Structures are given as C-alpha cells and as structure tokens.
C-alpha cells in the first residue's frame, strides 16, 4: 500500500492494541488461553486477598447490571459471602468469566481480573508482549517529530502496561504519553473519544486514531477524530464500502507526517 499522510493539525496519535500494534493471535492464542487454564487456580490461591475480593465484587456488580438490562447471563450469581462453600462460589465466578470471554465481552470487571492474572505471567517471564516490528521505530519517529502517542484498548490500563513493559522489544512504556481503557467509555461510543480529547487537552480533530475495527473507527469519526484503519494478517475483513471510505495502512511505516520538521 502507498504512504498515507496524516493531517498537519494532528498533535496526538491514539492507538488500538489488538490487530493494530499487536497480532490478534497473541491475544486469542496466548493471553486468553492463559486465563482459561489458570483461572480456577488463581481464584483458589488468592480468594481471601483484597485484590481478588475486589475483582469478584466488580463481577457481581456487572451481573446485577446485566440482569437489570435484561441481558443474557449465566444462571448462577456470584456471592462471595458464601464462605461455607468456597469451591461453589469459585466455580460460579469461573462460570461467569468463561461465559463473558466466550461472548467476547469487554466489561471492566472482566478486564480487571484478566489484567491481574496476566501480571503474574508477564513478571515471571512466562509471557512476553508481542508487538509488530514496525511499531517501535515508527512511534519513536512520531515522538521525535513532536507528536504525543496514547493507547486506547478494551484491555485494562494495567494489562496494556504489562504488554508494553514486558514486550519482545523490552520495556517500551516510555514511548507512550498515556493509556485509556473502558473506564473512559466503550470504544464503539463516540462520547469516549470526546472524553479522551478532553483528557489529553486538545481538540478531537487534532487526534488521529489507528484501529482495525470499523465500528470503533465510525465512533471516533463521529467525535471528530481523524481515523486510519489498520489492515494486518488475521484482522476482520473490511467491506468494500469500508475500504473505500477509510484510509488504510498495513504498517505504521506508511504514515507520512506532512508539514513537520
């Protein structure tokens, strides 16, 4: 694909992770299976610890919200007060987490628990965050040219920092000026991007957002951001209409920074 220029008014780049900076296969084939394989052991080991209790409390609140909204959810509800049958309570948490993951839910409660579990895997060296080879050199170039670079992912801020802090390229956290997750809003909600612009301290039109998901691109565009769709191996195929509407890149190295020294 040819080079793509980003508008001269751009002062910040906002990057998605899965399918944009990082292969989808890393998330689907390494991160998610790790949760499925180790969830019950994690809960059994840490059940009485404050962090685990908070994770379970958030899951319980999410279930209550799902029931209020008449969303489908597992029959069991999480109740951490059932000390007489800890194993039963743990099984109910496992059932709910597995159900959310199977439905590809992006709930903050799920993402927080996953982040806490991945922390042990990253710090022990069992997992290293995968990053496409064009990402680090490109981000370094953008920063040298005076741009700020932020991450916005459905994964928790903690999970984002683990991926980039324990990556195949080493600790590259200093390449990013900030991180956003679903606590600021869903990625398919245009209001989320307005809040991010406000938090960064610039106008929406001064941000260029890179993602592989057209629904996120649409929401960002509605908020006034410039958008580029990233086409990587394994990403969801775009419709002809989407391909015609958006500027597409297959590598960050295609971005041209016009009007910058």
As averages over each run of 10 residues, the pLDDT of the chain (261 residues) reads 88 98 96 96 95 95 86 59 74 93 91 94 96 98 96 95 97 98 96 98 98 97 98 94 95 84 51
pLDDT of residue 243: 94
Tell me if 158 is assigned to a ligand binding site. Answer: no
- Name 43's Cβ contacts closer than 8 Å, sequence gap at least 6: 52, 90, 93, 94
Residue 55 marked in a binding site: no
- 41 in a labelled binding site: no
Q: What are phi and psi of 154, to 5 degrees?
A: -70, -30
214 is in an annotated binding site: no
Cα separation of 219 and 185, whole Å? 12
Structural tokens at position 189: 């909600």
Residue 37 marked as a ligand binder: no
Residue range 5-39, pLDDT digits in tens: 999 999 999 999 999 999 999 999 999 999 999 99
0.85 surpassed by pTM: yes
- CB-based contacts of 56: which residues, under 8 Å, 6+ apart? 78, 80, 93
Is 18 annotated as ligand-binding?
yes
**What is the structure's pLDDT at 106?**
87
Residues with Cβ within 8 Å of residue 240, at least 6 apart in sequence: none
Query: What topology is assigned to 29-124 in CATH?
Result: 1.10.720
Q: Where are the domains of the chain?
A: 4-22+129-257, 29-124
Query: What pLDDT, on a 0 to 100 scale, did the predictor assign at position 84?
Result: 52
Rg (CA), the chain: 19
What CATH architecture applies to the domain 4-22+129-257? 3-Layer(aba) Sandwich (3.40)
């Amino acid at each position: 694909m040819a080079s793509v220029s980003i508008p001269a008014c751009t002062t910040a780049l906002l990057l998605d992770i899965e399918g944009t900076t990082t292969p989808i296969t890393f998330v689907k084939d390494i991160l998610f299976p790790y949760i499925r394989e180790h969830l019950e052991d994690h809960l059994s080991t840490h059940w009485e610890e404050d962090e685990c209790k908070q994770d379970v409390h958030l899951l319980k609140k999410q279930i209550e919200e799902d029931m209020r909204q008449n969303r489908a959810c597992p029959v069991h509800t999480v109740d951490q007060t059932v000390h007489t049958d800890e194993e039963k309570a743990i099984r109910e948490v496992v059932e709910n987490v597995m159900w959310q993951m199977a439905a590809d839910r992006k709930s903050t409660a799920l993402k927080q628990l996953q982040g806490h579990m991945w922390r042990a895997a990253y710090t022990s060296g069992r997992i290293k965050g995968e990053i496409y080879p064009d990402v680090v050199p490109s981000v370094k170039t953008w920063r040298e040219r005076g741009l700020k670079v932020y991450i916005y992912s459905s994964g928790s801020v903690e999970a984002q920092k683990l991926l980039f802090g324990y990556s195949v390229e080493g600790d590259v956290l200093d390449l990013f000026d900030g991180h956003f997750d679903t606590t600021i809003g869903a990625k398919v909600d245009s209001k989320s991007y307005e809040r991010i612009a406000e938090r960064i301290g610039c106008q929406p039109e001064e941000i260029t957002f890179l993602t592989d998901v057209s629904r996120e691109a649409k929401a960002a565009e509605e908020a006034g951001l410039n958008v580029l769709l990233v086409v990587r191996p394994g990403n969801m195929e775009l419709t002809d209409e989407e391909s015609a509407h958006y500027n597409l890149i297959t590598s960050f190295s295609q971005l041209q920074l016009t009007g910058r020294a």
